[in-house]
């Protein structure tokens, strides 16, 4: 036996971090924004969220924070949560642990100028990297033993919209369609919705328009549906089960 498994990673329940992909209520959804902050998108997103009194969770990229740190202050002042999304938006799953430590610490050090470092810390890496990889869970735990992986249950693949449509009317129409498709999904209540601010790796002139367009359609539709917007809250006393339940992203 020992020989057979010699080259396999050894797993123990303790390797896996608690994960979050749904709320504990079906009467609300959580909104999460990756890849910000950007001057083109963040102010408009904040304005829409304020109009609907909706709290959100922002996973911010360090290099973008460095270019516009005042936007972090505005996000925090508006009552939203901010966490590090790494520094340079690379896939961290196959990098040495030190790279992840550096990417996260460098970014969190900038965010800590605007609010105390949260504990438990919600970690969402670029590309959702390593959610099903025990080594990655161990590395994130070594960076912050309080960490919980912030996944999501609903994506509208918003990062593709700007490059798949051309012209503002087409982008607007597509955003409306994606919102209606989202609203038609089962299990939307309790869902954690993934959105992006000016998503990375998109070379399309209307890239920064997508988040405000989606949000301006999504927020009133959620209200019509009677779904509130709630915060993405960490598990306070994570059960063993929370380490195993990895909800598939859709
Ligand atoms: Zn990202």
At residue 2, the pLDDT reads 38
The pLDDT, as a whole number, for residue 8 is 44
CATH number at residue 110: 3.20.20.370
Residues pairing with 194 in the sheet: 32, 155
Q: Which pLDDT value is given to residue 232? A: 95
User: Would you state the pLDDT for residue 22?
Assistant: 93
Spacing, Cα 160 to ligand 1 middle (Å): 13
CA of 248 to the centre of ligand 1 (A): 18
C-alpha of residue 90 to centroid of ligand 1, in Å: 9
**Quick one: pLDDT at residue 248?**
40
The domain of 222 spans: 19-234
**Residues within 5 A (CB) of ion ligand 1:** 34-35, 126
Q: How far is the CA of 85 from the centre of ligand 1 (A)?
A: 7
| 89 CA to centre of ligand 1 in angstroms | 6
Instruction: Report the number of distinct structural domains present in the chain.
Output: 1
Residue 199 forms part of a structural domain: yes
Determine the distance separating the centroid of ligand 1 and the alpha carbon of 195, expressed in angstroms: 9
* pLDDT value of position 241: 62
Taking the centre of ligand 1 as the mean of its atom positions, its distance from the CA of residue 36, in whole angstroms, is 8
Instruction: Report if residue 108 sits inside a domain.
Output: yes
Per-residue pLDDT of the chain (250 residues; tens, 9 = 90+): 334 444 444 455 667 899 999 999 999 999 999 999 999 999 999 999 999 999 999 999 999 999 999 999 999 999 999 999 999 999 998 899 999 999 999 999 999 999 999 999 999 999 988 888 889 999 999 999 999 999 999 999 999 999 999 999 999 999 999 999 999 998 999 999 999 999 999 989 999 999 999 999 999 999 999 999 999 999 887 766 666 544 444 3
The predicted structure's pLDDT at residue 236:
84
User: Does 246 map to a domain?
Assistant: no
CA of 6 to the centre of ligand 1 (A): 35
pTM for this structure?
0.91
Residue 65 in domain: yes
């Amino acid at each position: 036996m020992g020989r057979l498994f010699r080259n396999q990673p050894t797993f123990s329940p303790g390797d896996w971090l608690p994960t979050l992909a749904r709320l504990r209520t079906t009467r609300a959804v959580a909104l999460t924004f990756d890849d910000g902050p950007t001057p083109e998108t963040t102010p408009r997103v904040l304005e829409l969220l304020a109009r609907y009194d909706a709290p959100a969770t922002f996973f911010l990229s360090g290099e973008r924070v460095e270019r516009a740190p005042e936007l972090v202050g505005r996000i925090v002042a508006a009552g939203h949560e901010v966490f590090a999304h790494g520094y340079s938006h690379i896939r961290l799953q196959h990098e040495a642990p030190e790279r992840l430590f550096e990417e996260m610490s460098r970014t969190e050090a900038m965010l800590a100028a605007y609010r105390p470092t949260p504990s438990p810390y919600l970690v969402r890496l670029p590309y959702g990297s390593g959610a099903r990889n025990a080594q990655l869970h161990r590395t994130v735990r070594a960076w912050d033993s309080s960490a919980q992986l912030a996944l999501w249950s609903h994506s509208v693949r918003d990062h593709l919209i700007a490059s798949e449509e051309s012209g503002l009317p087409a982008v607007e129409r597509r955003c409306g369609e994606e919102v209606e498709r989202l609203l038609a999904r089962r299990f939307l209540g309790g869902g954690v919705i993934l959105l992006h601010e000016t998503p990375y790796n998109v070379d399309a002139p209307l890239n920064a328009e997508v988040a405000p367009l989606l949000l301006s359609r999504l927020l009133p539709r959620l209200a019509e549906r009677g779904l509130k917007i709630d915060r993405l809250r960490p598990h306070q006393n994570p059960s063993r089960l929370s380490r195993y339940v990895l909800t598939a992203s859709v």
